[in-house]
Structure 1
Amino acid sequence: MSPRITRARAAAAAVALCALLAGCAGNNAQAGPAGSDNRFIGGAGDVQQIAPADRKAAPQAAGATLTGARASLADLRGKVVVVNFWASWCAPCRGEAPSLEQVYQENKPKGAEFIGVDFKDAKENAKAFERRFKVSYPSFFDADGQIGLAFRDVPPNAIPSTLVLDRQGRVAARIIGATTYSKLNPVVGKVLAEK
């Protein structure tokens, strides 16, 4: 690979990292894509729902979890999947963790799965976070940020961010910034009700 391509990839990764880190610092979210079924207002934690015709496929992300097991979004196709981007060093992530776990517990029997993406974190700190907040769903260990970068077509844009994937593996909704039970649960319910 040429040095020019390597530098270009490094620059793109740095820009994406800055955008993700800005979310944890409290910046407002950006407007959603044109054509989306927009309840998205622009502030952190607002919900952007995407009409089925405008949905983009999520990447086929795969990798090791914090426990060392192998996980893949492709293995979850056919289920509604909530993908939460988080890090132990992110204060809003600590605030939303109980809500995410509650929505997971209530919707797992209905066919929903959750998977976290622990972004740019130390593994022991991330494991301590999961123990402290009793997180029972798996998380990819994304120390180098490659899984986060794979979502470039519908980027999370911030830490924390949450994506809801429909049964076809397409992004049906995005929440940039910390979420709550009252924001996430109705979205998951709506996507679960789709046929």
Structure 2
Amino acid sequence: MSAACRADQRPNRTRRGRAALLTAVAAFLLSACGSGGAGNTDFVAGKNGVDTAAKGHRTAIPDLSGKTIDGKQLDVRDFKGKVVVVNVWGSLCGPCRAEAANFERVYLDTKDQGVQFVGINTRDSSTSPALAFEKEHGVTYPSLYDPTGKLMLRFKKGTLNPQLIPSTLIIDREGKVAARTLQALSEDNLRKMLNSVLAEK
């Protein structure tokens, strides 16, 4: 084999080695991002799309307070002692529209059982489309107005934090996040998610 051929093969081996190293680094970074920093979470990812944290391994909610879309003041921490369903939504979100009636039905059925529903409206540049959404879908529970998503950013990374629209959290009676889903919920799945926390003593 000529010196020229051997010289041509060396760069190819070097390129293949670099490509393999970059692939390994990318896979590591993706796995760390996907799990909130592998091994640093205190929750279990469910096969049904609902992630849960056992009692004793839950994180307290951050400050979720401010003005509602109808101009009133609301602080989610005032509901400590109740099970709270927090739903992050936007008026232009198709899945949010699909689940809105489910949330209202479950809210009406459970509000006398120590359950409070709170929405967090985000990405709407004014409250007008949010109010129209509530009217159209018959939503009667309050929603905080959070156009820039600052309330979502208050949750610690690696916890059961809301990340998408819609996101739904179940807050236990101690004000800690017990369950989360990052997808639209049917009425049946919402009830299952809520009932497991509601049954806790």
Normalised TM-score (structure 2): 0.76
Show the 5 A alignment for 1:130-169: 130-153=134-157, 154-169=160-175
2:116 partner SS: strand
| TM alignment of 1:21-170, pairs within 5 A | 34-38=41-45, 40-41=46-47, 46-121=49-124, 122-153=126-157, 154-170=160-176
Whole-Å separation in 2 of the counterparts to 1:173 and 1:184: 11
Residue 164 of structure 1 contacts residue 188 of structure 1 at CA under 8 Å; is this kept in 2?
Answer: yes
Relative distance call for 1:35 and 1:151 in structure 2 (3 A) is: closer
Contact 1:47 1:183 survives alignment (8 Å):
no
Q: Which runs of 5+ in 1 are unaligned?
A: 1-29
What is the alpha-carbon distance in structure 1 between the residues aligned to residue 132 and residue 99 of structure 2? 16
CA radius of gyration, larger in: 2
Query: Which among 176, 182, 185 is matched to residue 191 of structure 2?
Result: 185
CA contact (8 A) 1:163 1:172 kept: yes
TM-score, with structure 1 as normaliser: 0.78
Rounded Cα–Cα distance in structure 2 between residues aligned with 1:158 and 1:102: 23
The share of aligned pairs that are identical, in percent, is: 40
- How far apart, in 1, do the equivalents of 2:172 and 2:141 lie? 18
How far did residue 193 of structure 1 move?
1.4
State the one-letter code of the partner of 1:36: F
Count, aligned residues = 162
Unaligned runs of 5+ in 2: 1-33
